[in-house]
Amino acid sequence: TQLLEQSPQFLSIQEGENLTVYCNSSSVFSSLQWYRQEPGEGPVLLVTVVTGGEVKKLKRLTFQFGDARKDSSLHITAAQPGDTGLYLCAGFTSGTYKYIFGTGTRLKVLA
């Protein structure tokens, strides 16, 4: 069974602080997505990373895919209250055409 473990599970920080969320697996994925989800809504795609070692930036968010395509990280610089939400990573395996979701990281940014 493929598992994607995210750490930390919960994070409460002050506005302006930096943070990193990790997504780890023993399985190799052909691509990995990061999502943010607000309560009562579906997940919203933030980024897709495909190549091992790839780094993508989206304003204050930096995403990295591990060289072996088994892990990924999300770094947020100068967090803002609007960043509050549930962050989910999801790995895609082309063999099964399935997306496996990580365990989730709940972030709260205090003003």
Partner 1 sequence: GAVVSQHPSRVICKSGTSVKIECRSLDFQATTMFWYRQFPKKSLMLMATSNEGSKATYEQGVEKDKFLINHASLTLSTLTVTSAHPEDSSFYICSTYPVGTSGGIVTDTQYFGPGTRLTVL
Residues 79, 82, 84, 88, Cα dihedral to 10° = -90
Cα–Cα distance between 4 and 107 in angstroms, integer? 18
Binding flag, residue 99, partner 1 (CB under 8 A): yes
Query: Please, what is the Cα angle at 66 between 49 and 6, to 5 degrees?
Result: 85
Binding flag, residue 101, partner 1 (CB under 8 A): yes
Q: Which of 21, 33, 61, 70 binds partner 1 (CB under 8 A)?
A: 33
- In the window 3-22, what residues touch partner 1 (CB under 8 A)? 6
> Which is closer to partner 1, CB of 78 or CB of 98?
98
* Bridge partner list, 104: none
Binding flag, residue 97, partner 1 (CB under 8 A): yes
Binding flag, residue 67, partner 1 (CB under 8 A): no
Q: Which of 22, 24, 48, 64 binds partner 1 (CB under 8 A)?
A: 48
Binding flag, residue 56, partner 1 (CB under 8 A): no
Nearest partner of 89 among 74, 102, 105, judged by Cα: 102
Q: How far is CA 29 from CA 24, 34, 42, 98, in A?
A: 11, 13, 23, 10
Where on the chain is the footprint of partner 1 (CB under 8 A)?
1, 6, 30-31, 33, 40-45, 48, 50, 86, 88, 90, 92, 94, 97-104, 106
